[in-house]
Structure 1
Amino acid sequence: MSQPAESAVSAVGPVSPESPENTADSAALARIYADIEKSAGLLDVPCERAKVWPILTAYEDKLARSVIAFRVATGARNAGDLDCRFTMFPASTDPYAIALANDLTAKTDHPVGAFLGEIHRNFPIDTSGIDFGVVGGFKKTWSFFPADDLQGLAPLAELPSAPPALGENLDFFTRHGLHDRVSLVGIDYRHRTVNTYFAHAPAECFQPEGMRTLLREIGLPEPSERLLRLGREAFGIYTTVGWDSRKIERICFAVMTPDPFTLPVAIEPKIEHFLHHYPHDGDDRRSVYAITSAPDGEYHKVQAYYQWRAQMLNVMLLSDSEEGGA
C-alpha cells in the first residue's frame, strides 16, 4: 500500500522573499522558467509567464530533485505546444491534489478526477509526476510502481473509477503477456484518457509480426516501416484507453537513447532543430523517442531531458546497456 498523500497546501506554502533559501529557490525557478521559454521559442510556441509560473511555484519544492523533460510531438493533436514533464516526486505526493489546490485544473465529478486517489490508496507508489503544456497548462499525472513490484492490470480495472476499457480488453493484454507488467499509469485530465505502461514486455511484442498482430487485433492501421524499425529497439510499450469507448485507442513503442539521430527514423526538421539547441543540465543528454499508432495514423514524440537523475533508469527499469541508438 502507498503512503498517505501529502497535503497539497503544505506542499505549496507561502514563500517569504526575505529568506535566503527562498531567494535561492526563486533563482532556480527563474532559471527553469527561462529555459522553458527558450525551448518553446525554438518551436515558435508562445510562452506566457502568467500561464507557466503558477505551475512552477505549485510544485516548487519538488523540482530540485525532479527529473525534468521537454516533449515535442508531431500531428495535429500536438501542434502548437511544448509539453514539460516533472517526475520523481516523493511517493507521498498527490500531484492532482496540488493542481486542484492551486487552481491549475478544474474540479470534476467525472471518474477521471477520482482515479488517481484510488490508485494511490490501493497500490504501492514509488514516485509520481505531472505533464503540462506551455500553452495548454496542466494536463497529466504519472504514478510509477516500484521497479521490483510491477502490478497487474486486473486489480487496476476493478477500481471504481477505472475506464471500462481496461477490463474489457484484459484478454488482449493477457494473450500478449502484458497483464501483470504494469509499471506506470498516466492520467490525462484534459482528454479523459489513461495510459498504462508495460515493462519487460515479451520479446515477440517488439518483433515485426508481433507488432502487426498487436495493432491488427485492436483495429489500428498496419504499422509503417519506421514503426517496425523503431519497435525492434524499443524498451517500452504503452496503450491508451478512455471512458467513452471500450476500445484501446492508441498503442505506442518507445526507445531510450543518448542520441536520437542514430535511430532508424527520419526526424522532422523543426524537431531536429529543437534537439540540437534546447537547454539541458550537464553533458548527460538523453531522450526517449516514441511512435504512436492511432486510428488516424502514426505520430512521433521526442522526450528530451533537461534535468536528469541517474535514478530514473531504475524507475524506467533500464540500465545504460539497454539504451538504444548508441
Structure 2
Amino acid sequence: MEWQKEIENLYNNLVSKMPQSVQPIIGPLLHETCEKKCHERKGDTVTERDFVIALFEVTPPAVQPTMIEDLTSLGVDYNKWMVYVKAGFQHEMDLNQTLEDLKKIADFAGVECDEEAIWEVFNAYKDFFTGSSISIRTTSKPVEKRDVSIRYVELMMQHDPDPYITATKEGLIEKNGHPLHKMFYEIYDKFEMMGHGVDLDVSKGLTKIWSFMAPCPVDRIYTMETIPDSVKTLKDYFSRHGLNEFVLFALDFYHKTVNIYFLVRDPSKVKPEKYETLLKEVGFEPASREIMEKCTKATTLYYTFNWETNKVERVCFGVLCPEGAEGVPVHFHPIMKEFVEKAPFATDKRTFIYAITFSPEGHFYKIESDYNGTMIEILKMGAQGGLEL
C-alpha cells in the first residue's frame, strides 16, 4: 500500500523518538495498523488521518502524553482526528459463562471452586474481566496442591483507581506490612508503567497483581528498597547470561513472592545447553533433553523470589502455541492432554500456552488457555522488544 510521502516521514520521525526498547514493539504494529485503517475507509494511500487513528489505538495510555508532545513538536493537529479513534475494551465477556467454564476446568483438574471468592474479584475488576485479554491455567502438581487460576492483562485501558487500591478497598488482600505492599508503588516510582493484570485463584481469590512496563534495564531493580535480597544475589548471574532487560513484575500477595519476567525475541536461536546452565547455576537440576528442548521454545522466562531466603524459588519457561493443540506436548502429563481436549473457550480459536517450571524439588508443568484469543498476541508483540539469548 502506498503512503503519502509526508506521512511516511512522520511515521519514521515519530518512531525514532520512541525509546529504543519499545521501537521494535510499537513500530511494526503502528505501520500495520495505519494500512489497516486506510483499508477500512477504502482508501489506497495512507494519510494523516490513518496515522493518527492508528497511533492512538495501538499505543498504551501510559505513554500517550509523551506521544502527544512528539506529535505537537512535529506540527500534527491530532485533535481533528480523535473522533474516529475507537476507544474501549477488546471484548464483551459474559462473567456467568466464564464462571461456568472455570467450574468445568476445576472439576476435571480436581480443584475446589469458591464461587463467592471468585465473584468478589470479578465484581471488583468487572470491566477488566469482561473486556480484557483472559487466560485460564492449571498445573501438573499433585491434586492436593493443584490450582486453577484465571487472569486478565490490560495495556490499553487505564486502571482508575489502580488495582492495588481496588484490592485493598474491597478486602481482597490484607495490608499486613509485607514489603510487597510498598513494592507496588515503588514500581510506579521507578519504572515506565504500561499496564496491569490481576490473577484470581478459584479456591483462594485474588493472588497476584501484575505490573507491566516497557523493556527496562534489570540493573534498576537493584536500587529498589523493597526488592528481596535474593534478587540482588543474582546480579552477576543475570549480567553474565544476557538477562539485562525485563518487562514485568508479578506480585503474589498470597504466597508472598515476586516474579520477574524476561521476554525472548527469537527462541529458535536458544540451545538447550543455555538453559541447562541457567538452571544449574541456581542449584536446579535440568530435565531430560526432550524437556529442555521444549524449554528453548519459550517466549517468557521468569524467576520467582521470596523475602525469606537468599535463593531463587522457581525458574519457569513459558511456550506459546498459536498453532493450537498440536503444539502442546500432551504426553508430558495427563492433565495437559485433558486440558487441551476439554478446556472451554470463549472463542473458536483454541490456542494454548504451556510452561515448564523448575524448583529445588524438581519440575512440573503448567497448561493455559488463551481463553478469549488475544493473550498470545500481547506476548508475541512484547517479544518483538525481547532479549537475544
TM range (shorter): 0.7 to 0.9
Matched to 1:36, the amino acid is: L
**Cα displacement (A) at 1:270:** 3.1
Aligned partner of 1:272 among 337, 351, 364? 337
Taking only the aligned residue pairs, the percentage that are identical comes to: 29
Q: Verify the 8 A CA contact 1:87 1:128 in the aligned structure 2.
A: yes
Number of residue-to-residue matches in the alignment: 294
Distance in 1 of aligned mates of 2:235 and 2:144: 29
Instruction: Please tell me the residue identity of whatever aligns with 1:256.
Output: L
Q: 1:160 to 1:283 in 2, by over 3 A?
A: same
**RMSD between superposed Cα atoms in Å:** 2.8
User: Post-superposition shift, 1:29?
Assistant: 2.4
Map of 1:237 onto structure 2 = 301
Gap change, CA 1:316 and 1:267, over 3 Å in 2: farther
* Residue 152 (str. 1) matches residue 217 (str. 2): yes
C-alpha contact (below 8 Å) 1:68/1:86 kept by paired residues: yes
Partner of 1:219: 283
Alignment of 1:1-326 (within 5 A): 28-76=94-142, 79-88=145-154, 90-92=157-159, 94-146=162-214, 150-179=215-244, 181-200=245-264, 206-258=270-322, 259-264=324-329, 266-309=331-374, 312-313=378-379, 315-317=381-383
* Unaligned segments of structure 2, at least 5 residues: 1-60, 63-90
**C-alpha distance in 2 between matches for 1:299 and 1:260:** 19
**Equivalent position SS for 1:210:** helix
Once residues 202 and 275 of structure 1 are traced to their aligned partners in structure 2, the CA distance between those partners, rounded to angstroms, is: 25
Following superposition, the deviation at residue 38 of structure 1 comes to: 2.4
Which amino acid counterpart does residue 233 of structure 1 have in structure 2?
K
Length-normalised TM-score, structure 2: 0.69
Contact 2:259 2:304 in 1 (8 A): yes
Distance between the aligned counterparts of 1:303 and 1:275, measured in 2?
Answer: 9
Flag structure 1 segments of 5+ consecutive residues without an equivalent: 4-24, 320-326
**Structure number, greater radius of gyration:** 2
Q: Separation in 2 of the partners of 1:27 and 1:313?
A: 21
Letter of the aligned partner of 1:225 in structure 2? R
Asked whether the 8 Å contact 1:292–1:298 carries over to 2, the reply is yes
Q: Distance in 2 between matches of 1:155 and 1:26?
A: 38
- TM-score (norm: length of structure 1): 0.81
Report the CA distance shift for 1:257/1:159 in structure 2 as closer, same or farther (over 3 A): same
**C-alpha distance in 2 between matches for 1:246 and 1:77:** 29
Distance, in Å, in 2 between the alignment partners of 1:257 and 1:125 is: 27
Could you say if the C-alpha distance between residues 61 and 27 of structure 1 is closer, same or farther in structure 2, counting changes exceeding 3 Å? closer
Partner of 2:76: none
Contact 1:177–1:201 (CA<8 Å) still a contact in 2? Answer: no
